[in-house]
Structure 1
């Protein structure tokens, strides 16, 4: 399972002025003086004002007159007043607001598994949204069950999630190197090994030097669970309460990695390498493959510096193999952050419904096109049902779209799409059909909250030691037994009990 950092509570706090959509009714007739003008009917109501705090990652925060924000307000009849906080200061800002109970009307939280936040949810600080969603045409039909489950607390929906692809893990590799060697795309893990070995020893870049490795990874080894999944391991936990690292399939993954390490097909400094260095090694043409996500193909433009450095370079990806084990994809949460609505600032059900109306309208197709492509007629035009860009994509507008948006599946496709992106989009859809989810993802364990990070560190350290040959099979089993004694068995009991309640 992912490590829980108790000190990081990433929160985007939306100050949003949410208007009531729909016309005013005529209401009770008003008695008038003779000749007086009748009151106007169907008059548009004034926008409802709400405050918002949100995070930004670009060099400059979005301005009030940002075209995306203006269009959102126009469509939803809202007045958005957003305070954008840079990512470097965001944690402190959120922590301060939480401690002071100075919350906005919409609170976006990026780490919804934080124990302090979950305790606040259980204490009744936020509205439970689940019972209301079915009353809204978009919220009731477009939100995915898996993501709603993964982001739930005690089986209840308190937040609206910001979607991301559910099953996006992949082996990213140099297609041009493979073609230089006269090889084909691997169909199983044995062929993956052969390809990585050839990347290491057969001069795949044709520079006449022994200066390449097959696979680059870093000390976190977080994407190695993809390989364990191809061997048949569960996603973090099995429904019976077995952690993935205690399975034979996970052991097969460790042996696979150890073989790569022993034969110097895997970078020998992986145990001390940072994740950014892993990607840098691939970008600079030192490594032929890395385990990452299909977003690399979707955002293929980020490899343009590599393509400039190596004009013949081509990138491809593998995310699943044929067979009972390989034909599966380890799923992630399927979302990145959730929007919560505090009861301390949204005191009435009427106001809650106004805010939910805003989110529902944000899921209209016109809004999805706006958040994905920008302003129609300015940034793109529609040609044969597709978005054709009129000018280069604005990174600030794109970021605003990501931070505000929920679901993006109804946006029209791009008219011009690089081949890698088109392939990745199809792979992501196919992967959802064979996605292996973590059955315990929405659950809590008191032992995990108290000791989970420390216990996981013991397993992570043992994993690196095993791959490097510092410990053997017995040492690995001893690490698992220590994990059990130090709280792992108690954690299993707690998760199984919570899972049983959830299934009732």
Structure 2
């Protein structure tokens, strides 16, 4: 693998970790890691993790006690407010009091440089050995994407791989005699009908088809436009073209998709304030009967159904419909997420021998059991929840404790081999049916998922300028949809992307891609 230039701050962090590891580390005292320099077996496991709850768990928290029993050693958790977590990571890595395991929330420049400099254990062979069955990923594409240039430096925290969906007003479909869409052409016709054919039957021209908010990010941010791009076969950020990766927005299929999106906008089938609408108000036009289609994650359908139920019990089944991927003119493709939200990494300065590493991996393996998943996500059975008909039912009198569990201990959940904790009891029968449909669509659409082949590759240039580069294309797309620029203007944006760092990113990404084998 070619040598990488380490930025000054990142180099200091990497150097601190590597030098600490070489010096023999601490003696196990204090709040840091417990590996020690003598290679002795760990008598406890220190983990640094973020929390989202109002307050972190107490030291004698019953969930922590139960998880310690599962792991076989006391767990000492260094809880950090999520709002301050990124800063704390840099502070801890630059010091000499390093925990045994760290939740890393993103592959920023500091982490990547530190990992490639030897500051974290490369877990690739260990995780693929099968010695830790609960750490064997059920989706190798996601595990590869969580890594750095083919090396896996942490056990990733799994999230739904398939989330993109089409959410529609069921009553409008029924009023117009329309079925759920199966293709992008179907979607276009429904958007037209929802705009022009009086779907609410009030005799007024006061509805539109698709609801799209201002999207906070450029290309590759899982926007409704990215979903349509993938449906058209553009690829997901990058596409393998004969063994070479090319940007998805340089493909003919991407241009076809943008033309489709432009037609929707120019014909008035999208809310007129699509470029400025506050994403926080995305549900309102759907609930109020102004618009009838949302392209977003499946969980929004559940959220909308629950809001309708709060307005009128039993109304959601008549108001909310859910469809998965749509076939485009060039085939059937589904947009996946990255499939993970950070990972648990093991610093070499705390865990210094292979024997200690194997001990930690066995603990993490045990913390991925069904028992541990229930503890991390639900808490203590018989206290804050009970099990009824296979569902977790929470005790309302213990809601504060339940919120603390899900806002803190769940952040340690990896679930890479699958999520097996009890499902939460749905509030209504329809919400349960919608939950089952989500799982069905996830299984069906996963077969056509188009993963970003460069997701696990770290380009130096992209690390420093990626946001600006993505926004060049994202902004140009919005301008093109609005008619503010023509095809020549779109071409100019692509050329600006190339000359301001895009070509260098492409070169670096392909150098790394060629080394994956």
Q: TM-score over 0.5 for the alignment?
A: yes
Cα pair distance change 1:201/1:61, threshold 3 Å: farther
Post-superposition Cα deviations, 1:230-257, rounded to whole Å, max 9, x if no partner, equal 1111011111322111112211221122
Q: Which moved more, 1:451-460 or 1:135-144?
A: 135-144
Quick check: 424-433 or 307-316, which moved more? Answer: 307-316
Q: 1:18, 1:355 within 8 Å by CA — same for their partners in 2?
A: no
The match for 1:335 is 340
Aligned twin of 1:235: 236
Contact 1:218 1:270 in 2 (8 A): yes
Query: Are residue 452 (structure 1) and residue 454 (structure 2) matched?
Result: no
Q: Distance in 2 between matches of 1:124 and 1:324?
A: 47
Q: Give the drift of 1:218.
A: 2.6
1:29 counterpart residue number: none
The one-character-per-residue Cα deviations of 1:136-188 (angstroms, maximum 9, x if unpaired) are 33245445311211111221111100001212211222223322332111121
Does residue 1:403 correspond to 2:418, yes or no?
no
Larger deviation: 412-421 or 466-475?
412-421
- Deviation string 1:11-42 (CA, Å, 9 cap, x unpaired) is xxxx89999xxxxxxxxxxxxxxxxxxxxxxx
Matched, 1:188 2:202: no
- Counterparts in 2 of 1:16 and 1:148: CA distance versus 1, 3 Å: farther
CA contact (8 A) 1:169 1:293 kept: yes
Spell out, residue by residue over 1:285-324, the C-alpha distance to the aligned partner (whole angstroms, 9 max, x if none).
4332222112334xx2565234333663432222223577
Give me the whole-angstrom Cα distance separating, in 2, the residues matched to 1:449 and 1:46: 38
- For residues 148 and 195 of structure 2, the distance between their equivalents in structure 1, rounded to whole angstroms, comes to 47
| Contact 1:387–1:415 (Cα < 8 Å) also in 2 | yes
- Map 1:295-306; keep pairs closer than 5 Å: 295-297=299-301, 300=302, 303-306=305-308
Matches within 5 A, 1:342-491: 342-381=347-386, 386-389=390-393, 391=395, 394-407=402-415, 408-413=418-423, 418-491=432-505
Q: Gaps (5+ residues) in structure 1?
A: 1-5, 10-14, 20-44
Task: Tell me the equivalent position of 2:295.
Answer: 291
Using the TM superposition, give the Cα deviation of residue 213 of structure 1 relative to its aligned residue in structure 2, in angstroms: 2.6
Partners in 1 of 2:387 and 2:330 — Cα distance?
42
Give distance in 2, aligned partners of 1:72 and 1:16. Answer: 19
Indicate how the Cα distance of structure 1 residues 271 and 346 shifts in structure 2: closer, same or farther if over 3 A, else same. same
Contact 2:135 2:155 in 1 (8 A): no
- Measured in 2, the distance between the counterparts of 1:105 and 1:302 equals 42
Alpha-carbon distance, 1:442 to partner: 0.7
Which residue of structure 1 lines up, in the alignment, with residue 224 of structure 2? Answer: 223
Alpha carbons of structure 1 residues 177 and 101: separation in structure 2 relative to 1, 3 Å: farther
Identify unmatched segments of 5+ residues in structure 2. Answer: 1-6, 11-30
Match of 2:132 in 1: 137
**Deviation, structure 1 residue 193:** 1.3
Asked if structure 1 preserves the Cα contact closer than 8 Å seen for 2:132 and 2:362, the reply is no
Q: For the Cα contact (< 8 Å) 2:32–2:100, is it kept in 1? A: yes
From the superposition, tell whether residues 304 and 167 of structure 1 become closer, same or farther in structure 2 (CA, over 3 Å): closer
Of stretches 165-174 and 355-364 in structure 1, the one that deviates more from structure 2 is 165-174
Mapping of 1:17-416 within 5 angstroms?
A: 48-100=43-95, 102-112=97-107, 114-133=108-127, 134=129, 136-139=131-134, 141-206=136-201, 209-220=204-215, 222-240=223-241, 241-297=245-301, 300=302, 303-309=305-311, 312-313=315-316, 314-322=319-327, 325-381=330-386, 386-389=390-393, 391=395, 394-407=402-415, 408-413=418-423
CA contact (8 A) 1:18 1:77 kept: no
* SS of match in other structure, 1:167: coil
How far 1:331 moved relative to its partner?
1.8
* Closer/same/farther in 2, CA of residues 213 and 66 from structure 1, 3 Å limit: farther
Distance, in Å, in 1 between the alignment partners of 2:64 and 2:48 is 14
Q: Are the equivalent residues in 2 in contact too, given 1:17–1:79 (CA < 8 A)?
A: no
Relative to structure 1, is the Cα distance of residues 227 and 48 closer, same or farther in structure 2, using a 3 angstrom cutoff?
Answer: same
The verdict on how the C-alpha distance between 1:223 and 1:66 changes in structure 2, with shifts beyond 3 A counting, is farther
Q: Could you tell me how far apart the structure 1 residues matched to 2:57 and 2:173 are?
A: 43
Seen in structure 2, the aligned counterparts of structure 1 residues 323 and 248 have a Cα distance that, compared at 3 Å, is closer
Aligned length: 462
**TM-score of the pair, normalised by structure 2:** 0.81
1:219–1:302 distance in 2 versus 1, CA, 3 Å: closer
> 1:178 & 1:328 partners in 2: Cα distance?
25
Q: Distance in 2 between matches of 1:98 and 1:310?
A: 52
Cα distance between partner residues in 2 of 1:380 and 1:449: 44
1:161 touches 1:336 (CA, 8 Å); kept in 2?
Answer: yes
Residue 291 and residue 353 in structure 1: after superposition, are their counterparts in 2 closer, same or farther (change >3 A)? same
Instruction: Describe the shift of the 1:447–1:475 C-alpha distance in structure 2 as closer, same or farther (beyond 3 A).
Output: same
The equivalent of 2:25 in structure 1 is none
Cα gap change, 1:411 to 1:375, in 2 (>3 Å): same
Q: Distance in 2 between matches of 1:157 and 1:410?
A: 24
Name the Cα RMSD after superposition: 3.0
Larger CA deviation: 395-404 vs 186-195: 395-404
